[in-house]
Every structure is written in C-alpha cells, then in structure tokens.
Chain A
C-alpha cells in the first residue's frame, strides 16, 4: 500500500510535472506549428456549441476554484467560515461540475458519431476526452460523497500540493483519504502528464495578449531608415528589432538609445 501511495502520490506527480514542463517547452521550440486548438467547428458547428461552451466555461470556473484553494487557502477558508457562503460556493461549484459534464459528454459523443469530425479525430483526442469525463464524474461523486470540499481542500490537499512544490512531499494526510479522492488526484496528474502529447497545449497559448495589442500589425523585415545607409544595406542579416513600445515609454530615452544600439549590433553581425 505504501509503495502504491508513494508511486501515485509522489512519483506520478513529479513525473507529470517534469514531463509537462520539459515536454511543452520542447514541443513549443521544436514544432511550434503543432500548437493549435485544432478547432473542428468548421466541419460541425451546432453540436460543438452545446459541447464546447458549457465545457470550457464550466471548466474555467472549476479550474479557477481549484487554483484559488491552492494559491490562497487561508482566504478561501476565511470566506467559507460563514455557512451561507460555504453553501453558495458548494452549490455553484456542483452546478458547474454538472455543466462541464454535459459539455464534455456532448463533445465526446460528437467526436465518435459525426463522420466529418471523425476524420479529424486521433486516438489521443479520445483518450483525453475519456479521461476528462472520468475526472469530472469522479469529481462529482467526491462532491456528493464527501461534502464541503471547499472547506477541506485547503486544509488537506493544499498542504500536500505545497509539500510537492517545496520538494518535500508529505503524503501522510492524503494517503489516508478514501480511494475515489485519490483517484481524482491521480487522474488530474495523469492529464497534466499528457499535456505535451495532446491538443491540450492550446490551454498554454491562450491569447490574452490580444487585449493589449493594437489592432493592426505591420512587420518590417529591415530597418526602414537604415536601408538608406549604404554602409548597412548589405549587412543586415536578421529582422530588425525595435525597442518595444512599452519599454520606450517606461525608461529614459538614453536607455532606449542604448538598447536600440544593442539590438542593432545583434541583428547586423558585420556592422562596424
């Protein structure tokens, strides 16, 4: 039993986290092309709505909930000290879990029944969705069988996760938890482990930077002003880079000038 606990609650999490970090970074650097949400809406849009929308929005809420319990356990506990608030959190979390379940089951059903979507479905897609279905179902049964998760998660699970992060794994508390709960944890790490090998990497490239950027994008291959300089026209070998706008605003202009020189010397190898 100890061996099993050690493997599933210590070995697997570390393997998962290492693979997650190394794998996703390696994949990003080596085959960036494969980073995509691989949308299949173009082939089938109606069912996708009833799958993707509840699944993602629900998951977003649940994910943030788990994250909060992990990052700010005291605040969550303090918030829950009032029974009404605890009840509200519990009920709404449960509702979102059901919403996610409806979504992911719809997605899975769509993947296996629609001939067009089948054409863009790989085995790993199905594995991921089955794992997600299992994870959600188990999560729901935990919520039903062991009420007030938002109260005991910060007290029991969070210290365990923190101990993992601190590289001093302490599983004394979690090892005594019931089987379904451990299964929920194990499946979660399994899904994390699978990230680099699946479409789930799209979660890592969520385009939030869109909010901050100007709408239009124009890219120059070379410094427009420099091209006129006969000394440099033949020497620029890499795309010319400008000091980013926000930096230009933040730091004094002399520093900008210096940075710019550095960038230029980087991009124009043979420059005197």
Chain B
C-alpha cells in the first residue's frame, strides 16, 4: 500500500445555477493574457449540449484518453504515446484547432467615442484577438447556454449515442425538455493522459497534493497533451508557444485559500477536501475493466478509508503530515464519494482516473408533467396561456417515490453515459438516495409522510436517518469551512510557493518568475 493524498473536488450538480461566476473568476486571475483569451480552465456547459470545445466527449474525433485493445490487453494512449507522439511530432494529425473552441474577440469600443460625427450611430465592431481584424463571431465559450433541444447543440451531444431515436425525441419535446449545467475544470487525474503524452516530460503530478502542472520552462510546444487529455483541459497558448492548464489555484491552496472557482461559486455547489488513495492500485484500476461500470468500482477501491488504522500507519510511513491525515478524516469530498456513494467521476471510461467527482442532478430527472391534465390543456388554443397555466407546471412532488426515477423525464441512460460508463443501475442508486433524503426531510419538516414509509425508503437505499441528516446538512446548510477542508500549508516543505508570482501577473500568470515572452 502506497498511501498518497490528493486534493479533490465534488460538484453538486443539483445546486449549479449556471451563472458562470466560476469561469469568470478563473479567467480574471489566470487567463486574461495574450494567447490565453480563448482558454477557460473552468467552463460551464449546458447538458445536453456539445460543450467546449465542440463535442469534446467524442474521442472518435479528438482521440483523447486511454484505450484498451483486447479484453486483457494493456492500455495505451489513443492519439499520442511514445511511438505515435514522436512520429507525429512535425504535425499532430489529432490536434484540435482554435475554431474547435472559438476565435477570441473583443469589440472596438473606442469607435463609440471617437468615430467622427455622421448620419449613423457608431457601432463597436467585433475584432479578432488573434489577427486584430474584424470578424463575424461564430462561436463563444458558452454558446450552447440553455439551448436544450436545439439541433446544433443538444442534439449533437455525444452522450446521446446509445439512446434510441424515440428516447431522444422524447427528451427534446418542448414540454418535457430539461437540462442541467456541468461545470468542468481539469480533473487532476491519477492516471493523467496529459502527463503520459508529453514528450518533453514537462507535465507532472505533484506527489504531495496531486495537482497536475505543466512546467512552462520545459514545455516545448510539441502539443501532444492537447490531444491526449480526453477532457480537453490542456490548452495550447498560441502566443507563448506553451501549453497551459488549470493549476487548481495551487498558489492559493498553499496560502490556505480556496481555488478561485470554488471561492466564487454562487450556488455553493463545490466541496474541496483531501482524499487518500493507494498509488499501487492505479495501474490496475485504469486497466482491469472493459469500459463498464466496473470502472467506477475499481476507482472507488483505490480511495482509502482515512480512519482505518492501517491506512493511517501507512500514511505516516510515507511521510504524510498529521494535518493531512486529519484533513482527510474531515474531508467533505470523502463523505460524498465514499461514505455516502453519492458522487461519481465524469466519464470514467476515459481511464484517466479523474479525481473530481459529480453528484448527478436529481431535479431534471424527477420533474414530470401531470399527464392527466394534458388532454384538457390541449383544447386551449392560446399557446402562451398554455405555458402560464399552473396545470402545466412541472410536478415535483415526491408522491410517486421510485416511480419517478424509473419513468424519468430525463433518460437515465443519458446520465449513465456521462458518469458511470453507461451503467444505469448505478445512477439510479444515487438518485434514489438523493430522493430518499428529500423524503426523510419532508417527513421531518412537513410531516405529511408516514414514519414507516420514510423508514422503509431509507432502508431501501441503505441510509440511516442520521446519515440522511448529514447529507442534507452538508448539501444545503454547510458553511464555507465545512465545504472547504484542506490541511494547513507546510511552508517549510513547499517549494513552488516560494516563488512570488504577483509581479509577473498578466504576463506569465503563474508559476515562474520570468516574464513569459514568446521565444524568437
């Protein structure tokens, strides 16, 4: 057992309101620089939708992640690797280009003030931030915002592939349409494809906290990591000729602050905590499954119980500080992921073992139309009246219990494709637990559900009333200190934090005390 610690995050998707505050906070701190304008280390997508860059989940296009050939085979990088990477070094056939993201733009605001007097109002024309020339904006980082059902975005979602045409149609009927938001940052994976793909060896995982970083002084623009990362979270800076990615705000973490995205999160959907894992099992967890739900089981198996005396002992032998072990024991992410089994990684079938986890959303699944009243409504002619009439509101009552989950408005298969490598049972288990917590709390606060019924419901999903209360508290009431638990920084041991990067903000942005000027 080789115990290591990882700072990991949980996103509670039911709470995300899609406000993009996280993205903007991140952009303001890290990527408001030339060459990085198009980068959104944190971005928020509407699901179903194609995301950013367009259809990033479709690895037939982008060739990201690991793949396993044959049932017992080893895994190799799909679009990079030693042989492929070196042979493709002069031109990488799988590299996305800027148009797959969007061409960064600004507006000529000064024209509004300085245009000479004329017959027309002056306008601020959009110009490209690359060429400086006027462009027609075709795409933006969140162009698919709230566009569920549209042919350009939602219907091209790669996660729909296993759904029957009828199911897809049902999803996009105007009255039934639902969507949710998916905030994404780098997953700081345990088996990172970006690290493995870098010919220079510029990318590495920090042993102490698991943050994956790109050494800007060693990166030589061989641009393989951009291909290899299945989440498309390694970005190429076209100006400096270096790749960049989310750094989990390590300068902030080392100073005891939360990452900017988390700190600014309006919905308070994010939880940050320490997770202990067994590094000896990484290899087998990435390999020993066939793109099925086993992937989740294996990954959960890596994560260690911080209260287990053996684990604690092994952690100490590995030089882990007591404060880190302590943080792991009070970690909110450990609770969501292991203790309650509510959070799952995004696309485990990419085999990178992502260390950020998502609590799948219950709300868009649960809400259903009161079918009985539809016939009446159909008779009404005025479509606007239709949408305003109360009878057309979604019924979110919990009367039907499991029934709602099974006849979900939102096919479970879709959610399973995203979070559990296609296993609907796993998603259903999680949603049932979430529902059970609601029923339990309704029993407590409103009291209109019989106690026995609450009890059988909880037992059905393996929760105790205390656990349900804990889940409710951490989900709905938790203060910042409970959502954000990391060990105190060990200043005497940290190396990177000794660099003061404030002076170079805006140029290098992070990590190195040198103005990051493009080479000759």
Residues of A within 8 A of B (CB): 31-45, 48-49, 52-53, 55-57, 115-116, 118-120, 122, 124, 197-199, 201-202, 205, 207-211, 213, 215-228, 233-234, 236, 238-239
Contacts and interface: CB of A to CB of B under 8 A. Distances in A.
A36 B241 contact: yes
B219 A36 contact: yes
B313 to A, nearest CB: 12
By size class, the interface of chain B is: 35 or more
Contact of B516 (A33, A39, A216, A228): A33
B223 A41 contact: yes
A236 B199 contact: no
Contact of A221 (B93, B95, B238, B496): B496
A42 B95 contact: yes
Nearest to B196: A215
A208 B321 CA distance: 38
B200 A210 contact: yes
Nearest to A49: B91
20 contacts: A33-B216, A39-B222, A41-B97, A45-B91, A53-B91, A115-B131, A118-B131, A199-B519, A208-B86, A210-B201, A213-B201, A215-B196, A220-B208, A221-B207, A222-B208, A224-B320, A225-B318, A225-B319, A227-B321, A228-B317
Nearest to A56: B90
Given A115-B131, A207-B199, A211-B86, 13 more contacts: A39-B241, A52-B91, A198-B520, A210-B198, A211-B82, A221-B208, A221-B493, A221-B496, A222-B319, A222-B493, A225-B317, A225-B319, A233-B493
Interface in B189-211: 191-192, 195-196, 198-201, 203-208
Given A42-B95, A116-B130, A236-B493, A37 B196 contact: no
A57 B90 CA distance: 8
B91 A202 contact: no
A43 B91 contact: no
B69 interface: no
Interface of B: 82, 85-86, 89-93, 95-98, 130-133, 191-192, 195-196, 198-201, 203-208, 216-223, 226, 236, 238-242, 316-321, 492-496, 508, 512, 514, 516-520
A198 B95 CA distance: 25
Given A118-B131, A219-B206, A227-B321, A42 B98 contact: yes
B318 A224 contact: yes
A44 B97 contact: yes
Contacts of A37: 220-222, 241
B516 A36 contact: no
Contacts of A34: 517-520
Contacts of A120: 238-239, 518
B238 A43 contact: yes
A239 B495 contact: yes
Contact of B82 (A210, A219, A225): A210
Contacts of B91: 41, 45, 48-49, 52-53
Contacts of A53: 90-91
A265 B426 CA distance: 53
A217 B204 contact: yes
A52, A216, A227 — which one has the most chain B CB atoms within 10 A of its CB? A216
B201 A39 contact: no
B520 A124 contact: yes
Contacts of A115: 131, 133
A38 B518 contact: yes
Contacts of B496: 221
A198 B86 CA distance: 23
Contacts of B98: 42-43, 116
A36 B494 contact: no
A244 to B, nearest CB: 13
Contact of B97 (A43, A205, A208): A43
Contact of A33 (B198, B236, B316, B512): B512
Contact of A210 (B86, B192, B320): B86
A200 to B, nearest CB: 9
Contacts of A236: 492-493
Contacts of A219: 204-207
Contacts of B208: 220-222
A199 B195 contact: no
B98, B203, B221, B240 — which one has the most chain A CB atoms within 10 A of its CB? B221
Nearest to A31: B514
B137 to A, nearest CB: 16
A216 B319 contact: no
A155 B206 CA distance: 55
A42 B207 contact: no
B205 A216 contact: yes
Contacts of B85: 210
Contacts of B198: 210
Given A36-B219, A213-B201, A227-B319, A45 B97 contact: yes
Contacts of B130: 43, 116, 119
Given A43-B97, A49-B91, A33 B514 contact: yes
A36 B191 CA distance: 26
Nearest to B103: A116
Contacts of A226: 319
Nearest to A45: B97
B469 to A, nearest CB: 38
B241 A224 contact: no
Contacts of B196: 215-216
A38 B243 CA distance: 11
A205 B220 contact: yes
B258 to A, nearest CB: 21
Given A33-B512, A115-B133, A38 B321 contact: no
B516 A205 contact: no
A225 B255 CA distance: 24
A33 B208 CA distance: 25
Contacts of B221: 36-39, 202
Contacts of A118: 131
